[in-house]
Structure 1
Amino acid sequence: MTQDIESLAQFANLLKEFPGPNIEAREAAATRDTQLTKPPGALGRLEGLAAWYCAWRGVVRPEISNPQVIIFAGNHGVAGQGVSAFPAEVTRQMVLNFQQGGAAINQLARTFGAQLDVYAIELDTPTADFTQGPAMTETGMLRALNTGWQSVDPNSDLLVAGEMGIGNTTSAAAIALALYGGKAEDWTGRGTGVEGHALAHKADVVARGVEANQQCTNNGLETLRCLGGRELAAMVGAIARARSLHIPVILDGFICTAAAACLEAAQSGALDHTVAGHVSAEVAHANLLEKLGKEPLLSLDMRLGEGSGAALAIAIVKGALACHSGMATFAEAGVAGG
């Protein structure tokens, strides 16, 4: 087990020391692509996706054999404001469903050969209501951050981080508002299905949360501490740990992307080892991806969370690498045109 992160200042310094991609592997992958038995560019975005993966793994002809999906669960004090169509008890009930293999993410992880791990983080003690001040103390956030940091299997070769937590679309909307401005209504969506007056109330809660934590808005890690939740902090820890281990990451939906945005705000380029698995039906996700410069691999009107959209995108990354690594070159196939 690697050593725990002891302070947010230490974590911020770690982000500055993140390794970058292997340029030689990326260039070699690009050269190989020009030699494969296909017209240039015929595989579209799969070609760039393969080169991206090669660069982060430092391998010219890789394959994915050990993807990992990690689901983090946390409860939010702001859920007491009535921002969700479901009670907070559903978080624990869904964790049990994950553990018993009954959720969508279980089926997708099994289908694409991914190891699935589930971490329930202090569910009996929700975070503080962020309309009254910070959701977490630094100590509390560090516990969640370290849960994510320690959860990554060093032997995995692709990571998906997902979440479960009643109230966490409210948290994600508040983070997006704090980081990028605009109106609360711009970032606040239906989540578990709230509509009409309930949706307007949710947007008001988002606005009040950012107003109550104005000191955090110019600092990505403080934004996460003040407006996030334990499962969001754990996802940040996992995404960061993956970077340190040269493990590429597929981002999931609105909540995962909001958590990741805090990492990018803390250190520009911190998400270069990630791709967006999909764009969800949650109203603000497309805008958030645009802010981060991430073009989604899939658009299927999903808004389930729990890593489901990103897990489905494992197949896209696997397909890109199967073609890149397994196709014959013109010379190998004896085909004219290479």
Structure 2
Amino acid sequence: MPRRTEILRLPMAAPDDVSALAAALEAGRLAPEAVVAVFAKTEGNGCVNDFTRPFAVHALRALFAPHLSEAALARIALVMSGGTEGGLSPHWLVVSVAEAAGPGPALAVGQARTPVLAAEDLGRRAQVRMVAAGVRAAMTEAGLAPDEVHYVQVKCPLLTSERIGAALARGAVPATRDTLKSMGLSRGASALGAALALGEVGEEAIPDAVAEAPSGLFARRCGASAGVELLDHEIVVMGMSPDWTGPLVIDHAVMADAIDVPPVAACLARLGLAGPGGFVDEAGRARLAAVLAKAEASSDGLIRGRRHTMLTDSDISSTRHARGFVAGALAGLTGMTDLFVSGGAEHQGPDGGGPVAVIARREG
């Protein structure tokens, strides 16, 4: 029996505000047993101590607990991305899958969880391999071949002082003792794991220490977000499959830098969403289900030859600057602010750029 994906994009008044989801459950718009993933942009700082992410996870688990067994609840990927700088709007993206008859191709979704990652493996080839195995498992669940995948979303762990201390106590050596740096190493290893599974890079090109990997080695179809709220990896793979049905379609683009919106405009045009000048008009916005993107400050401190200060601001992490900046560029193109823009694009697209995925409803 073919499967069908549905996505609800719902507002959030606070990290624990699940009222829009509760209303969807009450109205029958959302079946709890069909939910496979919930993405969210929460209004924290997106850094190590961003507890809006576990706060949101706690609220979601409390919402679904009366409807699902503990095992079924554990199957839902809860991908929280902190940071809504600039004009970004906090919101939920609820992804559900159910059996349904009908023609394809359509958006296909698969998800997987990895084993718990040892602190000393974070940022190393062991993490790359673990994520690659998880991506392959998610592709198998969705029935997707690597060339049918348009986006992989990975939620990965980070290192805290406690996790570092525990590793050192048992004689293990973490890749870093800097908790903030661990976020970037984890994101980078996760991205390279997705690239390995999708055939975008070969394992022989990946050094044991991800910190030593050249910036030119990157995934073109993966976004990774690190958080304190988990110890394993939650992986969601999205693509187009002839064996799936429904109105949703997905396409992707890669931004070469933080203002490189023409590839995104071309993606929107392929989906029939772009109006005059490449901008999404009102009719297109009504069909736009979700935009997922990565943002990163270029390591050379330049954007097209002009200096930026994202890397030299000692008060605010560069990931926060980049997130708000890229979100503004994409909001200007789409006319929307509830965009899933995540900061920190290590090995996710070229240096200073990043991958973008667009999910839309077919016209009519």
The answer to whether the superposition gives a TM-score over 0.5 is no
Q: Return the index of the structure with the highest Cα Rg.
A: 1
Q: If each structure's helix is expressed as a fraction of its own residues, which one has the higher value?
A: 1
Q: Structure 2-normalised TM-score?
A: 0.27
